[in-house]
Every structure is written in structure tokens, then in C-alpha cells.
Chain A
Amino acid sequence: MDYFRSSLNAALALLISGDWEVYFIVWTSLKISLAAVALASVIAVPCGVTLGIAEFAGKRLLRQGLGSLMALPTVVVGLLLYGLLSRRGPLGDWGLLYTPTAVVIGECVLILPVMIHLVSTAVMGSDPRLLLTLKSLGAKGWRYFVLVLSETRAGVLAALVTGFGRAVGEVGIAMMLGGNIQGLTRTMTTAIALETSKGEFELGLALGILLLTVAFIINGLLVWLQPEK
């Protein structure tokens, strides 16, 4: 119990210490994860809504595939993108490896199928009268899309929250594409991995508690944004 108590104390001490490095790590984690969610949303929301609405052969198989990608190991994504972004890779000239941008791209790739799957599930699970009503009111194109999105926003928001949770909590991509560079790409998860490897378990756990606290606050903010009716 002492171990957990001292970790908790260490976490609180870290939070109120005013340690610039700790705050920078938290900020880097948030910045990268939120950027990945924002980037993924631009693709996942329209694709998810379209997938939810459209009827075509192979839809079930496609959704099954997207669902399976929810279990995609982060290191596999990291490895694939490492191959693309490394100096000898096809995109090596872009010089993105070991930058926050590379981590954003990697996390975006990781959460994209999850978010598309969840958004399409939200649309498909919406009240069946919604699409019939829109159809009968003559809604088309952009208007149709916006109305479906507006009416299923609780499910869409849940997809964003899940995407954020997966992004902020992953370590494989941040380590492989970011390189855990202090002051640049060190995130909370890579910092935890580092401190643990150094035997600084208490500091690692303290950062873990900090990570959960940040996730809790972000989730709270997203839920707060969701109107009840």
C-alpha cells in the first residue's frame, strides 16, 4: 500500500511542482492526441456517416474489417509507418521521423478505423424513423449529412472520445515514430516507459495517474459539450 500511497503523493507533487518538463510532457501528449483525433475526424466522420447510411454489397464485411482493426497493435502501425518515414523509406525525404507530426500521423492511422466503425454504428443504431423522415422531407446531399450528424451526435462524440482515449494511451507509435525525445516528442506514455525502465516505478506510476487525470478531464469536457436534448 505504501507503494501506491507514495506514488499518489508523487503524482500530486508532480502536478503542483510547477516542473516545466512535466507540464511540457502533458502538453505534448494532449497536443498530439487531440491533433490525431481532429485529423481522423475529418476523414472518419463523413466516411462513418456514409457507411452508416449507404446500402451496398460487402458493407457487412467492410464493417467487420474495420471492427477487427480496433485490435490493431500499435507497434504494427508504428513499424509500418517507420518503414515509410525512415530515411531510406519512400517518404523519408519529408524528414518527419522523430517529430510530433509523425506521431500524429501514426495515431491518426491507428484510430481511424475505430472511429469510422463507431460513427457508422452510431448512425446505424439511430432511430430508424430518422432516415425515413429525412427522406420524406426531401433532405438531400450536404443538408442530409448535417442532419444525420446532428441527430447522432452523442454516438459520434463517443467515437471521438474513444479515439482520443486510444491515442493518448498508446505507447508503441509514440516510441517508434517519435523517439521519446525530451522536449520534443516525449509523451506521458513514453515517459512512463522510460521511468519504469530506469526503475523509477513511483515516478512512472505518478505519470500514469497524471495521464488518467488528464483523460478524465478531457472526457468530462467532451461530455459537457454534449447537450442533453
Chain B
Amino acid sequence: MNILYEICHLEHSYDGQPVLAIPKLTIETGKITALVGPNGAGKSTLLRMLALVELPDKGVISCQGHRIQKNPASSLRRKIGWVMQQPYLFHGTALENVAVGLKCHGVAKGRHREKALQALRRVGFDASLKKPAMDLSGGQRQLVALARVLALEPEILLLDEPFSHLDRRSHEHLESLLRELSQKGVTVVVSSHDHLRALAWADAVVALEDGRLAGVPWVNILTGSIEQQRFKTGKIEVLLANGQLAGNRIAIHPRDIVLSKQPLQSSMRNRFPGRVTGLQEEGGCVRVTVMAGERFEVLITQESSQEMGLTLGQPLWVNFKSTSVKVFYS
């Protein structure tokens, strides 16, 4: 494992309010890492720190073995491309915006147009090149900002909610572009509030909640109470593993759930009958939504989906081990 970023005992606060507290976190080189969590979880703050534009109050962040200081080496900064959730675009057209980055990196003026056009085409920007950047839609603005960064050929790409304003087609195009970049060795860190899609698509997922690393995925969260080793939601009762005695919520990883057409005779003690209410391609996998007393989101491969011949309304069993259930307070 080749570690790119290493974070140790990071603490940060705004106006006395703690926003990040991460004891240890590593991000691997050449992989796609998704930072997921609800709004205000600290994803954007962490990305700003990884982008070297903000320093933590306490703790250490190292990038490629170099501890990040107040004035990081410009050679290190130039390896990083960062796109904000609502990126700032300069006055002028999309093309001129991409050219600004090239100017800052000292690229010869004669190559600006060619490189900018190439980057804009790559991200799938299809609006008028003569249109003022201020008149572009939210999604188009994000694509211009991404093109501005991609034109600089960064080794590390940090994207804050890059999919938030994109339509489905652009979303899929961007996902495959990021995958392609990752295969070429570029490290991609993406923040997202769509935990399920991140789980399906990214190589690694870091879940944040209130600035802390969340031990559970923010999918398949059920609320209820524990009685005699069972978690009662009011609709279903989930069997828990020994020792899981305290908490008011549970979470089940969508990859830990097994779907079957018949009840399984297996070691999985939790079995619930239900019906398929949703089927969607999600980052190369299939996201199956099953109503089985509670709503369950399940990720399976496209091959499994085809073999099972899944259709909407089809009766199915949801199965998972009691050890797959994470119990926590929230």
C-alpha cells in the first residue's frame, strides 16, 4: 500500500466550535477515495486541508511524506488540483477560465487554447465557449472548474461534491473520467453526501459525522431500541451479535446484505421477506431497493442482477448476519 496522505491527531475548530477531530487517517496513492457524510460533517474542511489552503489547529497532515506547513513548497502545490463545491470562476469565457490556470503554471501562451479546449472536451463541457462563465449553469461551472484543474495535469485531484449539480449523463461521464484518471495513477479524493453511490464506485470510503470518523456507513440506518439481543424498529426485529447491547440505531452495510428468491438455510440469522421497489445502475453495480418491513438498500454486481432476473415488484428475501449489524448511538 502506497500512502499519499497521512493524517495524525488532527483537530480543527471554527469560532471555538470543533469541526474536525480525526485521530488517524490514510489515503492511498492512485485510488479513488470518497469522503462521505451529511452536510456539516467536515468533508469540505478536510478537503481544503488536503488541498494545502488551510492548516489544522492541531495535528499533522503529511503528503508524499512531507509534513504540510504554513507555506508548502510550490512544487507540491502544483501536484494538487482542487475544485470547490461552488467553484469560483473568473470574469471571461470558459476557455479564458481554463487558460488562467495554465498562465499560473507558466504554460506557453501559444498552447493555452489547445490545452483548454482539450480539457473542456474531456470533462464533457458542451455549452458555448463564447458564453460568459458567469452565465453558465451550476453543473457547467463545475465542469469548467474541473477542466481548469485537469488542464494542469495534477497528480492529486480533490473534488468537493463534484456531482451535486450534474445531470445523470454528465455524472456518469465524470465517474468514468475519474476512474480513467485513477487507472493512470492520479489519486482522486471526492466528497459526496451520497454514501451508497460512493460505496459502489470508490475504492475506499471515509465516512464522517460531526467531524469525526464514523464507524458505520450512512446507509440502511434503522432507529429503535434493544431488547434481549434484538433490535426492535417497530416494524421488524433484527437479531444482534453477542455484546451489542447499547445503542438507539443500527446500520447494515449494503454489500453485507444477501438477496435470495427463497429463504436461505444458512448462518445468516436475519431473514426478511420483501419486494423490490427500486433498481438502479450505480457506479458499475446495481442498487436494489427492497421494502422488507423496513427499506433496505443493497449493492450487487450487474452479473448477479442479470442471473436473478430482478424486476420491480419481485418478491425477494433480505438476508444478513447479526455480526454485520453495527449498533450505535446518534
A229-B132, A229-B134, A229-B135 given; A136·B82 CB < 8 A: yes
What are the residues of chain B within 8 A of A138 when measuring CB–CB?
A: 74, 77-78, 104-105
B residues 67-115 touching A (CB-CB < 8 Å):
74, 77-78, 80-82, 84, 86-88, 90-91, 100-101, 103-105
A128-164 CB mask vs B (1 if < 8 Å, else 0) is 0110111111111001000100110000000000000
Q: In whole Å, how far is B87's beta carbon from the nearest beta carbon of chain A?
A: 7
Q: In whole Å, how far is B129's beta carbon from the nearest beta carbon of chain A?
A: 15
Does B53 count as interface, using CB distance less than 8 angstroms?
Answer: yes
- Cα A35 to Cα B122 in complex, Å, equals 50
A132:B90 contact, CB within 8 angstroms:
no
A133:B91 contact, CB within 8 angstroms:
no
Using a Cβ cutoff of 8 Å, how many contacts connect chains A and B?
A: 49
What are the residues of chain B within 8 A of A140 when measuring CB–CB?
A: 74, 104
- Cα A147 to Cα B100 in complex, Å, equals 9
Q: In whole Å, how far is A21's beta carbon from the nearest beta carbon of chain B?
A: 45
Q: Which of B48, B52, B101 has the most CB of A within 10 A?
A: B101
Q: Which of B52, B81, B90, B132 has the most CB of A within 10 A?
A: B90
Q: In whole Å, how far is B12's beta carbon from the nearest beta carbon of chain A?
A: 16
> In the complex, what residue of chain B is closest to A130 when comparing beta carbons?
B88
B88:A129 contact, CB within 8 angstroms:
yes
A137:B134 contact, CB within 8 angstroms:
no
B263-285 CB mask vs A (1 if < 8 Å, else 0) is 00000000000000000000000
- Cα A139 to Cα B105 in complex, Å, equals 7
Total interface residues on A, CB under 8 Å, equals: 18
> In the complex, what residue of chain B is closest to A134 when comparing beta carbons?
B104
- Cα A227 to Cα B90 in complex, Å, equals 13
A139:B53 contact, CB within 8 angstroms:
no
User: Contact check: which of A133, A135, A139 meets B87 at CB < 8 Å?
Assistant: A133
Does A127 count as interface, using CB distance less than 8 angstroms?
Answer: yes
A136:B80 contact, CB within 8 angstroms:
yes
Does B51 count as interface, using CB distance less than 8 angstroms?
Answer: yes
> In the complex, what residue of chain B is closest to A229 when comparing beta carbons?
B132
- Cα A137 to Cα B84 in complex, Å, equals 12
B91:A229 contact, CB within 8 angstroms:
yes
- Cα A133 to Cα B89 in complex, Å, equals 9
B104:A132 contact, CB within 8 angstroms:
no
B residues whose Cβ falls under 8 Å from a Cβ of A: 48, 51-53, 74, 77-78, 80-82, 84, 86-88, 90-91, 100-101, 103-105, 132, 134-135, 148, 152
25 contacts between A and B (CB under 8 A): A127-B88, A129-B84, A129-B86, A132-B48, A132-B53, A132-B84, A132-B88, A133-B88, A134-B104, A136-B51, A136-B52, A136-B77, A136-B80, A136-B81, A137-B148, A138-B77, A138-B105, A139-B104, A143-B103, A143-B104, A150-B90, A151-B90, A227-B91, A229-B91, A229-B134
A residues whose Cβ falls under 8 Å from a Cβ of B: 127, 129-130, 132-140, 143, 147, 150-151, 227, 229
Q: A127-B88, A132-B88, A150-B90 are in contact. List 13 more A-B contacts (CB 8 A).
A: A129-B86, A129-B88, A132-B48, A132-B53, A133-B88, A136-B52, A136-B77, A136-B81, A138-B77, A138-B105, A147-B90, A151-B91, A229-B91
